[in-house]
Structure 1
Amino acid sequence: MTRLRACLFLSVAALAGIASLPGIADACTRVLWNDNGYAVMTGRTMDWPESTEPVLTIFPRGLERGGGKAGAEVIVTDNPARWTSKYGSLVTTIYGIGTADGINEAGLGAHMLYLNDTDFGARDVSKPGLHAGLWAQYLLDNAATVEEALKLFDGIQVVMVEANGHKANVHLAIEDASGDSAIIEFIGGKPVIHHGRDFVVMTNDPAYDQQLALLKNQDFSKPSSTMPLPGNVNPVDRFQRATYYLNLLPKPKGEREAAAGVLAIARNVSVPFGAPYKGFGIYNTEYRTAANLTDKRYYFELSNSPNLIWADLSLVNLDKGQPVRMLNPDNINLSGNVIASFAPGPAPF
């Protein structure tokens, strides 16, 4: 099965059916370009009704972590998860309580996106509890590959958390430097995992198995300039556009073209200012990221800034005992390589 046939799935009838689903949600797109012959590249958008207070943060190895607190609030009272970070990472934090996006020094990437159907299930105190805001960070701290990350789920339970009045109804996309990929969702209290290199695009609702079931309704194996594409901002339309354009990207000749390729798609599926979601109000794209998992380079751009910034994690001393380094990207003077602008600061979690 080609990557295109494994991801693009929508007919006119299917689009109409999904649009009528109650409570269909919003927020974010992830694309993985793992067959370009140059580097494994990934990109995402963050779409949200307010600032998520993003801070670029570099974590060294050897940090003592706890999965039960979100800021000063205790989320998991009984048997919270505890661990020591095995890998250093470069991440974008969310509300100061967790990680929305990032990569680690081994080339694992993790991306937290909204999924309205999320149900983590009843608390099982026999398993260490990890609040959802730290789900991505837990994997970045402890795994080098998708295979390793998936094995970690047997030892923890993800628990719902709320920040700024928003529940963390989230699913997770992960990928590694080999190009392997997985989409992890919790539906009806149970984990549902789609694992394989073909799972390169993720948006939001409906649940991923429903998206894959709709694959048979359309044949996009021969994309052309005359093929009609949906142009709205809902997750179904974004999924289709992202997959269509991902499969048309030309082979990059180097880093600039590789990063530009995934960022071009992220910009294409971004939510313009003022574009409405039915029942959810305005969810503009707040920022976009891209990552070269082969060379451990991380790109970031705010949607209201003309400047793209990046940092090379491979050039940072991540030894145990090194300080946590932080950078507020909301600074119009930042541009290009900003690794020298990171400053030591207290670990946010």
Structure 2
Amino acid sequence: MNLKHIFRGTLAVVSIATLMATAADACTRALYVAKDGTVIVGRNMDWGEDMSSNMWVLPRGMKRDGRGGANTIAWESKYGSLVVSAYDIGTAEGMNEKGLVVNELALVESDYGKPPVGAKVISLSTWPQYVLDNFATVAEAVADLRQEKFVVQTVILGTGRAANMHLVMSDATGDSAVFEYVKGKLVIHHGKEYKVVTNSPTFDKQLAIMEYWKDAGGLNKSLPGTSRASDRFVRTSYLLDSLPAEMNEKYISGTPQQNFKFQAPMAALSLMRSVGTPLGFADEA
């Protein structure tokens, strides 16, 4: 595994994935894809408490299990990865050596269902790592997870609440997918058009809300501004679509070496800053 390449490739992700705020469950993920093929994943971790996160470099060939008890699944990692841990008990997000990126974001509506007797299980805390260890592309992951070889089990946080999440993926081609468990059933949204993900409600409803705002006079005239997940989804989508997808003479003079390889991550970083929850802010709406 080329660790130098992995660290360089994930710098933009990591630099915008460790923002903390007091508004719980206010995470945002945005996928920036430029005309030259540059792909950058931005993610705000606006979590309501210190997750004691650390970065780990995990090599190929590690023997793993799903931390799901007696019927947990087991595998050996095919790809190395760089990950950010949550509470140092599982992977919150990361990127493997093939450029596949995973992010877990809160979704309180998640319902993983009850495992049938004898069914294989995997803990929510190791679900992202299973993907990073085994797949090179989003398409590969979709094909495998669609078979539902195991049942996902939630984990209980130190606060006593269940850590209900949905899983988001992207790869080096700009492909994207969102995985949600709704009423015990796996729902997959797969396509390059799915660039923005936040939290509640479920992704299909987020898309419907987006259409409402488009019809309500256009996003450039009526852009919602609270920190609620549905508002952040609309606002992030609008701003992401407004970013230059190639070198822009108007902005390039303000970037190091006047090079697009710096313009692109700076644009993504500025986007994530603009939709993040300010430190200490609590939205009661």
State how far apart, in whole Å, the 2-side matches of 1:125 and 1:146 are. Answer: 30
Would you say the 8 A contact 1:57–1:92 is kept in 2?
A: yes
SS across alignment from 2:45: strand
Q: Report what 1:176 is aligned to.
A: 171
1:152 CA displacement? 2.5
Question: Corresponding residue for 2:58?
Answer: 59
CA distance 1:219–1:229, shift in 2 (3 Å): closer
Give the superposition deviation at 1:252.
4.0
Q: Which moved more, 1:238-247 or 1:161-170?
A: 161-170
Report the Cα distance in structure 2 between the residues aligned to 1:169 and 1:41, rounded to whole angstroms.
Answer: 26
8 Å CA contact 2:46, 2:277 repeated in 1: yes
The structural deviation recorded for 1:35 is 4.1
Pairing partner for 1:137 from 111, 129, 143:
129
C-alpha displacement of 1:124: 2.6
Task: Determine what percentage of the aligned residue pairs are the same residue.
Answer: 40
Give 1 or 2: higher helix fraction: 2
Q: Counterparts of 1:151-162 in structure 2 under 5 Å?
A: 151-153=143-145, 154=147, 155-162=149-156
Deviation at 1:200, TM superposition (A): 0.5
Deviation, 1:187, is: 0.6
Q: Distance in 2 between matches of 1:151 and 1:121?
A: 21
Change (3 A) 1:44 1:255: same
Partners of 2:208 and 2:245 in 1: CA distance? 30
Query: After superposition, where does 1:10-25 map in structure 2 within 5 Å?
Result: none
Alpha-carbon deviations, 1:98-128, whole Å to 9, x = none? 1111110011000000001000000134432
Relative to structure 1, the CA distance from residue 125 to residue 143 in structure 2 (aligned partners, 3 Å threshold; closer, same or farther) is farther
Contact 1:223 1:244 in 2 (8 A): no
Pairing 1:259–2:255 present:
no
The unaligned stretches of length 5 or more in structure 1 are 1-24, 69-75, 280-349
After TM superposition, list the pairs within 5 Å mapping 1:35-184 onto structure 2. 35-68=34-67, 76-153=68-145, 154=147, 155-165=149-159, 166-184=161-179
Asked if the contact 1:98/1:134 (under 8 Å) is kept, the reply is: yes
Which whole-Å CA distance do the structure 1 matches of 2:119 and 2:162 have between them?
22
- 2:195 aligned with 1:203: no
- Give the equivalent residue in structure 1 for 2:280: 274
Q: Is the 8 A contact 2:77 2:133 kept in 1?
A: yes
Taking the TM superposition and a 5 Å limit, the aligned residue runs for 1:321-340 are: none
Equivalenced residues, count: 247
Aligned to 1:287: none
- Distance in 1 (alpha carbons) for counterparts of 2:225 and 2:213: 17
Structure 2 unaligned segments of length 5 or more: list them: 1-23, 248-259
CA contact (8 A) 1:242 1:265 kept: yes
Is the 1:26–1:205 contact (alpha carbons within 8 Å) kept by the matching residues of 2?
no
Measured against aligned partners, the alpha-carbon deviations of 1:222-262 in whole angstroms (never above 9, x if no partner) come to 978x5232221111111111111100111344221111111
Contact 2:235-2:275 within 8 A present in 1 as well: yes
Name the aligned partner's letter for residue 117 of structure 1. E
**Superposition deviation, residue 82 in structure 1:** 0.7
SS of alignment partner, residue 191 of structure 1? strand
Q: Which residue of 1 aligns with 2:181?
A: 186
Q: Deviations over 1:138-166 (max 9, x none)?
A: 10000001111122322222111112224
TM-score, scaled to structure 2: 0.81
Partner of residue 32, structure 1: 31
RMSD: 2.0
8 Å contact kept, 2:210–2:234: no
CA, structure 1 residues 55+67, in 2 after alignment: closer, same or farther (shift >3 Å)? same
Q: Give the SS at the match of 2:167.
A: strand
1:198 Cα shift?
0.5
CA distance in 1, matches of 2:217, 2:240: 13
Q: Give the residue type in structure 1 aligned to 2:63.
A: E
* Aligned: 1:232 with 2:238: no
Q: Are the equivalent residues in 1 in contact too, given 2:121–2:150 (CA < 8 A)?
A: yes
Q: Which moved more, 1:33-42 or 1:167-176?
A: 33-42
Contact 2:213 2:223 in 1 (8 A): no
Mapped to 1, the partners of 2:105 and 2:134 lie a distance apart of 20
- Specify the alignment match of 2:242 in structure 1: 248
